[in-house]
Structure 1
Amino acid sequence: MMALNRYRLKHQAKSGHKGALKAQQLLETPDRLLGVILLGNNFVNIFASSIATIIAMKLMGEAGIALAAGLLTLVVLIFAEVAPKTLAAVYPEKIAYPAAYILTPLLKILSPIVWFVNFFANGFLKLFNVNVKAENDNHSLSHEELQTLIDEATSQLPENYRAMLSSVLQLETVTVEDVMIPKQDVYAVDLSMPIEDILKAIQKSPYTRIPVFRDSLDEDLIGILNLRRALPLLMQDDITLKDIVKITRPAYFIPEVTSLNTQLKKFNENKRRMALIVDEYGDIQGLLTMEDLLEEIVGKLSTDAKAKPEEESVQLNEDGSMSIDAGEFIRDLNKEYKLTLPTNGPKTLNGLIQEELETLPAVGTCIKVNEHVLEVTEVSNSAIEMVRLTRPELKENKTND
């Protein structure tokens, strides 16, 4: 009974399995269940011991007592303890479900005795601050335990399903700041430009929704322009700036510390698919779309992607190393290429290397982070542009060769 998988038991009980339903009802009060099992077990053992002692004394006198005790101990140990309990542990459902039909009426018949025994047993446990009821109710799994279950379900779940389930578990710990499109990569249209340039910028947009502003995205954000709504307007010859402003929708702002799980709910509640990320001072830090959020669960989508295509930002070299755009997110690289770069600090490779060195490095500078070798291959005036990454296993293979 105690070896039953509680979650499988619940599923079978909900499916209408009568044996599982009875077993589940018994396990709701494990102290009473153990009480009736041990009551019957000890009664039979003591009764058998008494009978064996009487028979041994009649046959062999007082000398038979020791022989009866030794023989009965061996018989009980093999046939009443080790063998049946090992069998029940190996096949818990096959043993527990039929046993539940016997234990249920026994518990009703012996309930006064069981209550009396449990009253004193639970009172004794309270001396050691053990709350039996609270311990019985605590069957929920932590995030770490759920992750372990997912990792071990290799035969029942395909790898892509396990990856999605793991991503769902991480939605509570990952913030929008971790997955947003940085401000410098946000595609936005400045309405202070001539109308011809504005129309060209809108038509060239690779995205369905784009922020529009005057002069500064932080200081004079007008709103979000939906190209599906703007399409009929863009086909007109006499379109004006006022017409464009009229069909924009107010921007939706969210704090950068919001968890992805919370933001997914807010997107649904507010009927939104895009949000601008702001810091504690109200300055815009980046942009998040519903597609970016869903990519954390299902992987890359073919719709509104991030600013730089993956094939351009990460290239595999012939020697097995990787040439990576330093603006790439560390979390994305870890997930896609099974790396172990730290994610509790800077979000990009550029930030990680500069934090480690505390300066803007020169081309050819190498550092080692979590056994990964990072070599700076291209630098601009203010940032690292390209990095060559060598994985630990590649370095070990070269050493062995």
Structure 2
Amino acid sequence: MNDVPIGILFIALAVLLAISAFFSSSETGMMSLNRYRLNHRADAGDSGAVRVRRLLGMPERLIGVILIGNNLVNIAASSIATIIAIRLYPTHPDLAIATATATLTLVILIFSEVTPKTLAQKFPERIAYPASLVLIPLLYILYPVVVMVNWTSRLIMKIFRIPFDGGDHHALNSEELRTMLIQSGGAIAANRQSMLLGILDLDNVTVEDIMVPRNELSGINLDDSLEDIRAQLNETPYTRLPVYKGDLEKVVGILHIRDAADFLASDKPSLVMLSRKVKDPYFVPETTPLQTQMINFQRLKLRMGLVVDEYGDVQGLVTLDDILEEIVGEFTTDEADNTKDIHPQRDGSYVIDGTASVREINKTLDWSLPTDGAKTLSGLIIEQLEDIPDANTSLRIGEYRVEILQVNNNTITAARISHHNP
């Protein structure tokens, strides 16, 4: 090396530092890639994405070849820097070596580590895709060395009983996917983000949470007079109605309004004529998750089910539309939906019907009333007080001040609620 011109040594040192920067940026770029975008582009046929996904499919070999190359050029650069220093200061070799070490360390940190890795972290695709053109051939050239290094590394881990987990660390559970969607910001339109989050919520919500409670059900009682039944069918805003005899526990089935056309048009209507059009009832356990129930509706080609508790008693009614609204939001224009349960007041409080669903109140007002117990506002207040209160009773539920306005038949029919931040 003493015969090599010092200018050539400086050029060789610069080349080695550039190669070191390449390996450093390649490693950071590969590890910083968005794996989901990468898979999407690879599936779409992007050649660069295909190459990179192939490399990331064998992470041990990829890291091995990058580290071998990086350490090799850094050690070579250190040797050349030492030679240059000694040739420049032959009378003080010890000082020359120390100066070369300090200077080279600073240069490598700035130009071969920090700067290229920062750029690669900021523009991973611009670095990783072109780098794959070089790294794939190097994988084959350095294959024996890479295998030996990886085998030795695994042996050391085995000696120290460190488990080697080769699983997919990029798989997401539902909560992690939820966080990713929330943090996506403007990358996903707000309405689409809301729908995706609604789908993820289906497994955490049961039919009991969204059902129409029993006391609000509208149905055909076969014990009523024919005139009353005809009037009810003519005036109902619903397309399907449960049919029962005397009490909801004696359900006969479900009637679609279009199937009652003959009954309504007949000069001599009869209950037999109506009963023939009634379809068998479908019962749904109240603890069924919405995801499961939606699949059941699809499989059975049904749109409505009667919700029952563990004793088989009817508790309410759930429809496919109710489940879809959990995903896409309110879309129905039924007359039944024109009556609002939540009435804003001038002082910022709200007068709310006691039968209003706690989940619907939270969704409408962006509140966080407890939903792990009672399903209606009346039930929540009674649960908190552990007693049937009188009107004008006040209480606090977390950040919410509640004033009971009306109580009827042991049920709270109206309450005023105001939100006070702690």
Which residue of the other structure, out of 289, 309, 313, is the alignment partner of 1:279?
Answer: 309
SS at match of 1:266: helix
For 1:112, give the aligned amino acid.
Answer: P
TM-score, with normalisation over the residues of structure 1?
A: 0.93
Equivalent residues in 2 for 1:147-296, closer than 5 Å: 147-218=178-249, 220-296=250-326
Aligned mates of 1:274, 1:351 — CA distance in 2? 25
Could you say which residue in structure 2 is the equivalent of 1:318? 346
Are 2:59 and 1:30 equivalent residues in the alignment?
yes
SS at match of 1:341: coil
Equivalent residues in 2 for 1:82-161, closer than 5 Å: 82-126=114-158, 127-134=160-167, 137-161=168-192
Are 2:328 and 1:298 equivalent residues in the alignment?
yes
SS at match of 1:129: coil
The structure with the largest alpha-carbon Rg is: 2
Q: CA deviation at 1:304?
A: 4.8
Are 2:102 and 1:70 equivalent residues in the alignment?
yes
Which residue of the other structure, out of 20, 23, 48, is the alignment partner of 2:77?
Answer: 48
1:340·1:370 contact (CA, 8 Å) conserved in 2? no
Aligned mates of 1:149, 1:304 — CA distance in 2? 36
Aligned mates of 1:304, 1:275 — CA distance in 2? 19
For 1:301, give the aligned amino acid.
Answer: F
The runs of 5 or more residues in structure 1 that have no matched partner are 397-401
Are 2:383 and 1:355 equivalent residues in the alignment?
yes
For 2:363, give the aligned amino acid.
Answer: K
Aligned mates of 1:82, 1:99 — CA distance in 2? 18
Could you say which residue in structure 1 is the equivalent of 2:392? 364
The runs of 5 or more residues in structure 2 that have no matched partner are 1-29
Aligned mates of 2:98, 2:114 — CA distance in 1? 22
Aligned mates of 2:414, 2:188 — CA distance in 1? 38
Q: Which 10-residue stretch deviates more, 187-196 or 336-345? A: 187-196
Q: Deviations over 1:88-142 (max 9, x none)?
A: 11111111110011111111211121111111212333434332312xx232112
For 1:262, give the aligned amino acid.
Answer: T
Aligned mates of 2:41, 2:209 — CA distance in 1? 40
SS at match of 1:217: strand
TM-score, with normalisation over the residues of structure 2?
A: 0.88
Could you say which residue in structure 1 is the equivalent of 2:25? none
Could you say which residue in structure 1 is the equivalent of 2:112? 80
1:329·1:348 contact (CA, 8 Å) conserved in 2? yes
Q: CA deviation at 1:32?
A: 1.2
Aligned mates of 1:233, 1:197 — CA distance in 2? 13
Aligned mates of 1:35, 1:42 — CA distance in 2? 11
Q: CA deviation at 1:70?
A: 1.4
1:122·1:132 contact (CA, 8 Å) conserved in 2? no
Q: CA deviation at 1:301?
A: 2.2
2:214·2:314 contact (CA, 8 Å) conserved in 1? yes
The alignment of Structure 1 onto Structure 2 pairs a total of residues equal to: 389
Q: Which 10-residue stretch deviates more, 2-11 or 155-164? A: 155-164
Which residue of the other structure, out of 343, 368, 391, is the alignment partner of 1:340?
Answer: 368
For 1:42, give the aligned amino acid.
Answer: N
Q: CA deviation at 1:83?
A: 1.1
Q: CA deviation at 1:225?
A: 0.5
Aligned mates of 1:328, 1:28 — CA distance in 2? 53
The alpha-carbon distance between structure 1 residues 233 and 129, as it changes in their structure 2 partners (threshold 3 A), is farther
Aligned mates of 2:269, 2:219 — CA distance in 1? 19
1:378·1:386 contact (CA, 8 Å) conserved in 2? yes
Aligned mates of 1:33, 1:338 — CA distance in 2? 48
1:208·1:304 contact (CA, 8 Å) conserved in 2? no
2:181·2:197 contact (CA, 8 Å) conserved in 1? yes
Q: Deviations over 1:233-286 (max 9, x none)?
A: 421212211111111100111111110011111111100000011111111111
For 1:221, give the aligned amino acid.
Answer: V
Q: Deviations over 1:142-199 (max 9, x none)?
A: 2222222222222223333222222111001100000000111111111122222222
Could you say which residue in structure 2 is the equivalent of 1:399? none
Aligned mates of 1:310, 1:27 — CA distance in 2? 57
Q: Which 10-residue stretch deviates more, 93-102 or 161-170? A: 161-170
Aligned mates of 1:270, 1:130 — CA distance in 2? 47
2:263·2:270 contact (CA, 8 Å) conserved in 1? no
SS at match of 1:2: helix
Are 2:418 and 1:390 equivalent residues in the alignment?
yes
Show structure 1 runs of 4+ deviating over 4 A. Answer: none
Which residue of the other structure, out of 30, 39, 42, is the alignment partner of 1:13?
Answer: 42
Aligned mates of 2:310, 2:99 — CA distance in 1? 82
